[in-house]
């Protein structure tokens, strides 16, 4: 629960009310006590529902009410379950009341209670009724339109029991925070305790944390481990989503962590300086939101300066909605679905707010592309299956867990949506990796076109080496192998000894090339063991024809210098292996004498047979492998 105060220059209502409810003075700073005004976030808790036999501890974040400190208020406004809006009966609705209401409305806070404080100072019942009507009018049209208004006096105690009962009933009607397995703790306070080290606090979202968990702090990716957990000063082994949590960290210095960062499990979020969003501009903002306007972004507990890139329009007028791409000066840690507020840096006014649609768009958009606007509409309004398919087409192939995170879906909803995509044959799964059916088909066509293009470029080669095709498609081996298997099954390609080619493809020489081939093979047959060198063969044939004859197996190179025609190669290899069966060991001199040739050819043959694992070397000799 969050307490939003709206008192004037001196706060005699809000913090006093919090202390009356909880027994804890939320104002920690000396300046706050001296000025009787909340300046920074304060924290307290109370137990509700004890009379009903269902006691429940409720955390309270007391945020500044004064307009001068509204940006401190925004640092504590994330993760709200219920807002307790405090209005002083002797002052009524103030300008900051309306701004706080607008912020709560932009953040889509749907549960709240209004405490009409200091009624002990009001002697005129008509005035109290007038203030109550004024508050009701201010609430109209916002997410808190149905919030009950409870008159109270923190000093006399009048109405306090009714207020606690109302708070309890509203909280019981508020759905519990789901454990989606993706814990995030926006850090709103950092301090050290002697003997314990660094402690961070915040309201836990998205999942639970356990003592001993490895964690990361973003932006920055700092790594640490949870040494201890506390909720309302009680030790916990597990912290549940929706609770106020203090996390004692090991492996992280106090100076390295600051308000606005987010604590997650490793891989829980990624830093970004760019995100896409749906946006609503306040009707009383006074000015339009122009493209590339400098703004202050408030998300979680973070405050970051950036620029608002308006998509699909030149600007967004007061009271209108639209699409934005926020370009930040410094990295942020945001997730799909996060609510945010935009304010003008100077003068400090609230402009509007919205919801993160894509935390990792990857690049700056061209602002008026129809397909971009359609994509944003799907992200904003689509079903879980549509969101999953959108994410998949942007990131494929992707791990399922990463895909659910990008789509902003928990494991249960993501799993159900994924099964739907598979059942409708809209996706392909390989282990824990995923690809859209359209992406799979495109890659099949790309592979076929790649091989056909290769054959056109190199008509005297048998086909395209598998590894070169995989590299060109930039696919991991499992996906590439599955793709080749599909292409072969469909009759698109032939897979022949690590060479891919289209059906019917064959090496064909023209008359001139065929003449050169026959002439060289005749020369090689005449030369016998002392075959022409690789260099001479390449010059006689041309590089393309030489490579083709090697691919076809008509020429067999022993190394970079010595090559034989197939028949001669088989003959000489057989003679060497036959000699080894007779005398068990041979050396270079014996092979030289066997063929009446030079040592160059004898060494080439022995090293080649070693490479083929037909022989192995023992000192200067070879034996059968």
pLDDT tens per residue, range 32-83: 455 555 556 778 888 888 777 777 888 887 776 555 456 766 765 667 788 8
Tokens of 453: 């293009």
- pLDDT, residue 441, reads 87
pLDDT reported for residue 347? 85
Do 292 and 152 share a domain, yes or no? no
Q: Residues near 138 by Cβ (< 8 Å), separated by ≥ 6? A: 93, 97, 98, 101
Number of domains present in the structure of the chain:
5
**Residue 186 scores a pLDDT above 50:** yes
Tell whether 519 is covered by a domain. no
CA torsion, points 67, 45, 201, 215, in degrees to nearest 10? -140
Evaluate the CA torsion angle 402, 212, 231, 60 in order and state its sign: negative
Q: What are phi and psi of 462, to 5 degrees?
A: -65, -30
**Interhelix angle for 599-611 vs 588-595, to 10°?**
120
Confidence of residue 122 (pLDDT cuts 50, 70, 90): confident
Of the residues 215, 242, 264, which one is the last residue of a structural domain? 264
Instruction: Let me know if residue 338 belongs to a domain.
Output: yes
The residues, ordered by sequence, that sit 6+ positions from 557 with a Cβ below 8 Å of its Cβ are: 534, 550, 563
Integer Cα distance of 442 and 23 in angstroms: 65
- pLDDT surpassing 80 at residue 16: yes
User: 501 with 613, same domain?
Assistant: no
pLDDT bracket for residue 472 (50, 70, 90) = very high
Q: pTM here?
A: 0.66
Q: How far apart are CA 442 and CA 427, in angstroms?
A: 13
Q: Are 360 and 272 in contact (CB under 8 A)?
A: yes
Averaged over 124-131, what is the pLDDT?
91
**Whether residues 147 and 231 fall in one domain:** no
- CATH code of the domain covering residue 221: 2.40.30.10
CA atoms within 13 A on the CB side of 47: 6
Distances (CA, A) of 401 to 226, 278, 398, 434: 23, 25, 8, 10
Asked if 279 and 237 sit in the same domain, the reply is: no
408: which 2 tokens?
A: 């902003």
Contact yes or no for 206/212 (Cβ under 8 A): no
CA of 337: how far to CAs of 103, 107, 367, 489, in Å? 16, 11, 22, 43
Q: Is the pLDDT of residue 537 over 80?
A: yes
Number of H helices, E strands in the chain: 19, 35
Does residue 22 sit in the same domain as residue 165?
yes
311-324: pLDDT as tens digits: 999 999 999 999 99
Are residue 28 and residue 148 in the same domain, yes or no?
Answer: yes
Q: How far is CA 436 from CA 371, 405, 407, 421, 622, in A?
A: 18, 17, 14, 9, 55
Average pLDDT rounded to a whole number, residues 232-247? 89
Q: Are 298 and 359 in contact (CB under 8 A)?
A: no
Angle of CA points 111, 114, 117, to nearest 5°: 155
pLDDT tens digit sequence for 422-468: 988 888 999 889 998 888 988 998 999 999 999 988 888 889 999 99
Local confidence band at 613 (pLDDT 50, 70, 90 cut-offs): very high
Same-domain check for residues 389 and 476: yes
According to the model, what pLDDT value does residue 246 have? 92
Task: Look at residue 12 and tell me whether its pLDDT is greater than 50.
Answer: no
**In this structure, are 194 and 152 located in the same domain?**
no
Mean pLDDT of the chain: 88
CATH number (domain holding residue 484): 1.10.10.10
Work out the average pLDDT over 541-555: 89
| 428 bridge partner residues | 435
Residue 88 shares a structural domain with residue 194: no
> Residue 517 falls within a domain, yes or no?
no
| pLDDT greater than 80 at residue 371 | yes
Share of the chain above pLDDT 70, in %: 93
Q: End-to-end CA distance of the chain: give it in Å, rounded.
A: 78
Of the segments 18-27, 137-146, 437-446, which one has the largest average pLDDT value? 137-146
CATH code assigned at 61: 3.40.50.300
By C-alpha distance, which of 623, 560, 557, 556 is closest to 590? 623
Please report the pLDDT score of residue 11 as a whole number: 47
At 10 the pLDDT is: 43
**Length of the chain counted residue by residue:** 625
- Distances 406 to 379, 414, 474, 592 between C-alpha atoms, Å: 11, 10, 22, 68
What's the per-residue H, E or C state across 404-416?
A: HHHHCCCHHHHHH
Q: Domain ends where: 224, 245, 264?
A: 264
Phi-psi region of 555 (alpha: psi -120 to 50; beta: other; left: phi over 0): beta
- 583 in any annotated domain: yes
Do residues 581 and 469 share a domain? no
Long-range contacts of 383-389 (CB under 8 A, 24+ apart): 383/417, 384/409, 384/413, 384/414, 384/416, 384/417, 385/417, 385/420, 385/421, 385/426, 387/417, 388/414, 388/417, 388/418, 388/421, 389/421, 389/426, 389/427, 389/436
Tell me which range, 24-28, 241-245, 338-342, is most confidently predicted by mean pLDDT. Answer: 338-342
Domain hosting residue 313, numbered range: 272-373
> What is the spatial distance between Cα 251 and Cα 539, in angstroms, rounded to a whole number?
66
pLDDT at 610: 93
Among 326, 344, 373, the domain boundary falls at: 373
- Domain presence at residue 515: no
Per-residue pLDDT at 78 = 65
Q: Note whether 358 and 430 are same-domain residues.
A: no
- Confidence at residue 49, expressed as pLDDT on a 0 to 100 scale: 83
**Assigned domain for 99 exists:** yes
What pLDDT score was predicted for residue 572? 95
Task: Note whether 159 and 75 are same-domain residues.
Answer: yes
Of 213, 282, 203, nearest to 244 by C-alpha is: 203
Determine the Cα–Cα distance for residues 204 and 188; give it in Å rounded to an integer.
11
Burial class (CB in 10 A: 0-12, 13-18, 19+), 510: exposed
Question: For residue 63, which of 91, 85, 45 has the smallest C-alpha distance?
Answer: 85
Task: Evaluate whether residue 179 is within a structural domain.
Answer: no
pLDDT tens track for 566-593: 999 999 999 999 999 999 899 999 999 9
Task: Name which of 173-182, 328-337, 615-624 the model is least confident about.
Answer: 173-182
Residue 144 resides in a domain: yes
pLDDT (mean) for 384-394? 84
Say if strands 293-299 and 302-311 run parallel, antiparallel, or are unpaired. antiparallel
> How many other C-beta atoms lie within 10 A of the C-beta of residue 322?
21
pLDDT, tens digit (0-9, with 9 covering 90-100), for 475-513: 999 999 999 999 999 899 999 878 999 998 888 888 999
């Amino acid at each position: 629960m969050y307490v939003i105060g709206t008192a004037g220059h001196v706060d005699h209502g809000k913090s006093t009310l919090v202390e009356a409810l909880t027994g804890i003075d939320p104002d920690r700073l000396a300046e706050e006590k001296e000025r009787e005004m909340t300046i920074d976030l304060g924290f307290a808790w109370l137990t509700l529902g004890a009379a009903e036999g269902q006691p429940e501890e409720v955390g309270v974040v007391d945020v500044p009410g004064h307009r001068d400190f509204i940006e401190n208020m925004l640092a504590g406004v994330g993760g709200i379950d219920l807002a307790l809006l405090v209005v002083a009966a002797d002052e009524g609705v103030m300008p900051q009341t309306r701004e706080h209401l607008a912020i709560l409305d932009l953040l889509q806070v749907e549960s709240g209670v209004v405490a009409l404080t200091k009624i002990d100072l009001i002697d005129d019942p008509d005035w109290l009724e007038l203030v109550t009507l004024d508050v009701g009018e201010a609430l109209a049209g916002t997410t808190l339109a149905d919030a009950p208004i409870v008159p109270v006096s923190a000093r006399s105690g009048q109405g306090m029991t009714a207020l606690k009962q109302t708070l309890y009933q509203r909280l019981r009607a508020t759905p519990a925070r789901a454990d989606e397995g993706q814990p995030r703790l926006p850090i709103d306070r950092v301090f050290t305790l002697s003997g314990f080290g660094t402690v961070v606090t915040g309201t836990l979202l998205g999942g639970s944390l356990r003592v001993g968990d490895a964690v990361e702090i973003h932006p920055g990716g700092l790594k640490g481990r949870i040494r201890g957990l506390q909720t309302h000063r009680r030790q916990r082994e597990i912290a549940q989503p929706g609770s106020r949590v203090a996390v004692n960290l090991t492996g992280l210095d106090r100076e390295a962590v600051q308000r606005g960062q987010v604590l997650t499990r490793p891989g829980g979020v990624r830093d970004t300086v760019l995100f896409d969003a749906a946006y609503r501009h306040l009707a009383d903002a006074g000015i339009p939101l122009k493209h590339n306007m400098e703004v202050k972004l408030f998300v979680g507990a973070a405050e970051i300066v950036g620029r608002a890139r308006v998509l699909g329009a030149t600007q967004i007028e007061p009271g209108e909605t639209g699409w934005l791409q926020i370009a930040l000066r410094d990295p942020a840690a945001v997730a799909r679905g996060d609510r945010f507020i935009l304010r003008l840096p100077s003068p400090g006014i609230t402009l509007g707010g919205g919801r993160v649609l894509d935390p990792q768009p990857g690049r700056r958009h061209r602002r008026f592309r129809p397909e971009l606007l359609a994509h944003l509409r799907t992200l904003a309004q689509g079903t879980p299956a549509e969101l999953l398919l959108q994410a998949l087409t942007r990131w494929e192939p992707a791990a399922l867990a990463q895909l659910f995170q990008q789509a902003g879906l928990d494991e249960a909803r993501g799993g159900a949506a994924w099964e739907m995509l598979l059942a409708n044959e809209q996706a392909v799964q390989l282990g824990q990796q995923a690809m859209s059916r359209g992406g799979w088909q495109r890659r099949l066509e790309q592979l076929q076109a790649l091989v056909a293009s290769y054959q056109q470029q190199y008509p005297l080669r048998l086909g395209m080496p598998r590894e070169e095709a995989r590299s060109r498609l930039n696919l991991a081996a499992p996906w590439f192998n599955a793709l080749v298997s599909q292409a072969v099954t469909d009759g698109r390609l032939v897979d022949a000894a690590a060479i891919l080619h289209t059906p019917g493809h064959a090496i064909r020489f023209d008359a001139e090339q065929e003449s050169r081939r026959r002439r060289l093979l005749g020369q090689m047959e005449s030369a016998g063991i002392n075959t022409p060198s690789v260099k001479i063969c390449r010059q006689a044939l041309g590089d393309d024809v030489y490579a083709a004859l090697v691919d076809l197996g008509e020429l067999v190179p022993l190394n970079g210098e010595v090559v034989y025609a197939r028949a001669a190669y088989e003959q000489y290899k057989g003679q060497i292996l036959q000699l080894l069966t007779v005398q068990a060991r041979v050396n270079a001199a014996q092979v030289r004498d066997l063929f009446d040739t030079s040592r160059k050819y004898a060494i080439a043959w022995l090293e080649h047979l070693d490479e083929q694992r037909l022989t192995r070397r023992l000192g200067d000799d070879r034996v059968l492998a």
